[in-house]
Amino acid sequence: MPKIAVEASGLSKKFGQFDAVKSIDFSVKEGEIFGFLGPNGAGKSTTINMLTTLLPVTGGRVTVSGFDVSRNPEEVRKRICLISQEGSADGDLTAEENLIFYGKLYHVPKNDLSGRVKRALSFVNLSEKKDVRVRFFSGGMRRRLEIAKVFVSDPKIVFLDEPTIGLDPQSREMIWKKVFEINRKSGITIFITTHYMQEAEALCNRIAIIDKGKIIAIGTPNELKKSIGISEICEFAVNERGEAPLENLLKRRGFSPELLSKGRMRVLSKKEGSEKIVSSDAKKAGASVSEFQTRRPNMEDVFLYYTGHDVRDSDSDGAQLTRNLAKNIRGG
Amino acid sequence: MGETFRELAGDIWTVWEKDLRVWMKKPFVAISRALIFPLVYLLIFANAFGGTLYDLPIAVVDLDGGAESLQIIGNLQNSRTVKIHSIPSYEEALELFKARQVYAIVLIPAGAGQINVILDQSSPQVSSAITGSITNSALAQRGMTIDIRKDVHYARGASYLDFLTPGVIIQTIAMGALFSGGVSLLFEKQLGVFNQLLVAPISKTAIILGKILSAVTQSMVSGLAAVVIAVLLGAKIRTGLSGFFFLILLMFLVSFCFLGLGIAMTAYISDFQAWMMTMQLIILPLWFVSGTFYPIESIVWWLKPIATISPMTYATNAARNIMIRGFEFSSIATDLGILALIGFGMLIFGIKSFRRSVE
């Protein structure tokens, strides 16, 4: 039975009349990477701020590394590292100076400090930039410097609040790699918030989907994907004349067909092998189909299913179509 | 061509309108920015540096007691410039003079025909106003020739630079404390640097005391630099080691006052512009009525309350007494006591507001 790193029950936060977090329950096992996935304003940062003792809890309770956050904030602080969205490095200090200051805050023994800082900088590939003031760093370098803090203070749990927000794909992947390494090598528990589906899926052992201050679903990425009851999403091109008859056939099958732009159609299938079924239906309907693209449901589909809206809540064509998809799945 | 011009005009309008929209979103900043300079300059400058000095305290020792000397004293009493304290003996008057409770001594020795005026030139304007008032009172005594002998006990030949220097040093300390305490905290809070301190396993007490210590260090360095600059520019400092020790003590107390204010302001105001405006609204009036530029005896009655609550008034007075007159403990004791009270009071207020804002 693995130990518990974070345990929240009925955790709530009110700002005046506004309920930012509404009685959430979850637990994070030691050594796992646990993600809070949700749109901006869902209550992710508020939750992380409560877990890291920055905001007082207004309802329920939560323990971090075995200590109650409200009653023993000092014990909690000793065991955690917070990597926040805004970053915490002082732009007027160099990378090395920032990490030394950080180590002193965490009472790292003097004879150990410079060695740890050196290793930390090399881990995030910033050794050559150690004497550069942080204000001249790019967004990616800043984020890496934040990650280096983990190797200086040696925490039990690392909290990452939107660690790759605003970064380019390369920097993002580099951060993911580093987070993985931290988790693998040292077995450090990682709690992460993100609104990137891909990030949650790539990094997390388990994900909690949070929306409007509530947790809607918790599970591993696979569990969550299975939970929506769709095993394949299949897209293909269809000739104009065959569109209507094929759509009718597929509808009867419960495939919730949808016409996309440029003569393409999409179906949702509860079983695998949708391509074969579509092909045989097309023959019956006298339609010609080609260019099949079959994929498994991703986190985006899962998110839509549970929240009924896209994470960005944009009204792009794709978002609109996937909204229909969510409706269809739920209706069926 | 006309089309391009119309487009340019439209774009200018767009930029203008957006900025005004932002401006009107912060009524406090907008209003105070519009009011601060006319208010500060016209209202306070005009009434604080009006040039007319009233009720300057002087000691009169009348050893003659004759009719003429009584009349001269009567003339002095009618003058609004000085306020007379009749003292029976010269020694007693000297004690008051030393403590700067009176700014001059008028000694009328037995046998009339002569007046001795003992002066303190640490405030050039005050000393010349007193001299003028005494000369007028003596001249008003018709049919008599009165020999007025001046004797400068303190700060002979002090210049306006000497007079100005102490107040400027105090202001440097005050601004240094406000900025290094308040603004750096404000920036750290906005940039998230501050959260790193809050999640670290160190106490809030350590955070705030560390911040205070660093701000005090910074403001003391700038204050001492101001002393050096003043000396290089030709200001004379007439004090020994003990005076310097008390000057340093004074500087510490001033930095406590304004550090406390800066920290407290940061706890309540998170917008940088609003913060700067508030700071100017507070610090400029306090400074202008403190007696730095012109003797405090010239300010109008309704500005006096501001001078009374302003720590700069006491600090400037005490710093001047130390730096220009030469150190006499009795001349700074009261100022030092009041300043210590305000200094520690403000510091505690600052720490309390800070704690409330982070817990």
Distance from CA of A105 to the nearest CA of B (A): 6
Which pLDDT value is given to residue A198? 87
Rounded CA-CA distance B226/B165 in Å is 9
The most confident of A240-254, B126-140, B214-228, by mean pLDDT: B214-228
For the beta carbon of residue B260, count every other beta carbon within 10 angstroms.
Answer: 27
Rounded CA-CA distance A100/A90 in Å is 12
- Please report, rounded to a whole number, the percentage of residues in chain B having pLDDT higher than 90: 43
Which pLDDT value is given to residue B347? 94
Which pLDDT value is given to residue A1? 54
Interchain contact, A102 vs B199, CB within 8 Å: no
- CB of A286 less than 8 A from some CB of B: no
- Please report, rounded to a whole number, the percentage of residues in chain B having pLDDT higher than 70: 98
Rounded CA-CA distance B334/A231 in Å is 86
Tell me which residue of B178, B203, B208, B107 sits closest to B149, measured CA to CA.
B107
Choice among A24-28, B19-23, B222-226 with the minimum mean pLDDT:
B19-23
How far CA A38 is from CA of A11, A224, A314, B161, B340, in Å, comes to: 17, 14, 14, 65, 54
> Of B184, B189, B193, which to mutate for an interface test with A (greatest number of A Cβ within 10 Å)?
B193
Question: Does residue B68 register a pLDDT over 60?
Answer: yes
Ordered DSSP codes for B250-285: HHHHHHHHHHHHHHHHHHH---HHHHHHHHHHHHHH
DSSP symbol at B80: S
DSSP symbol at A16: T
Given B192, B201, B359, which is nearest A88 (Cβ)? B192
Over residues A215-273, the pLDDT tens digits come to: 999 999 999 988 888 888 888 888 888 888 888 888 887 787 888 877 888 888 888 88
With CA atoms as reference, the chain A residue closest to B193 would be: A88
Tell me which residue of B234, B226, B238 sits closest to B331, measured CA to CA.
B238
For the CA atoms of A310, A315, A316, A318, what is the dihedral angle to 10 degrees?
40
In chain A, which stretches have pLDDT less than 70?
1-2, 309-332
What's CA A111's distance to the chain center, in Å? 38
Over residues B229-285, the pLDDT tens digits come to: 999 998 888 888 899 999 999 999 999 999 999 999 999 998 888 898 888 888 888
Interchain contact, B192 vs A52, CB within 8 Å: no
Distance from CA of A73 to the nearest CA of B (A): 9
DSSP symbol at A133: B
With CA atoms as reference, the chain A residue closest to B198 would be: A54
Over residues A154-193, the pLDDT tens digits come to: 999 999 999 998 889 899 999 999 999 999 988 999 999 9
The DSSP H or E segment spanning A294 is strand A289-295
Ordered DSSP codes for A54-67: SS---EEEEEETTE
Over residues B83-118, the pLDDT tens digits come to: 999 999 999 999 999 999 999 999 998 876 788 999
Q: Which two tokens stand for residue B182?
A: 């308040």
- Domain residue spans of chain A: 4-226, 229-296
SS3 A237: strand
pTM score: 0.80
Distance from CA of B202 to the nearest CA of A (A): 7
Which segments of A106-168 does DSSP mark as H helices, in order?
Answer: 110-123, 139-153
Label the pairing between strands A258-259 and A289-295: unpaired
Rounded CA-CA distance A103/A101 in Å is 5
Question: Does residue B175 register a pLDDT over 70?
Answer: yes
Rounded CA-CA distance B122/B244 in Å is 17
Place of tokens 């897209």: A235
Q: In sequence order, which residues have a C-beta less than 8 Å from that of residue B50 and are 6 or more positions away?
A: B298, B299, B300
Chain B hits for A77, CB-CB cut-off 8 Å, are 199-201
Tell me which residue of A263, A270, A261 sits closest to A332, measured CA to CA.
A270
* A94 contacts A142 by C-beta, under 8 angstroms: no
**Which class would CATH give A229-296?**
alpha beta
CATH topology of domain A4-226: Rossmann fold (3.40.50)
Which pLDDT value is given to residue A178? 92
Interchain contact, B198 vs A53, CB within 8 Å: yes
Over residues B25-57, the pLDDT tens digits come to: 878 777 777 777 777 777 777 777 766 888 999
Averaged pLDDT, B111-131: 87
Phi-psi sector, A18: left (phi>0), alpha (psi -120 to 50), beta: beta
Rounded CA-CA distance B24/B10 in Å is 21
Rounded CA-CA distance B350/B181 in Å is 10
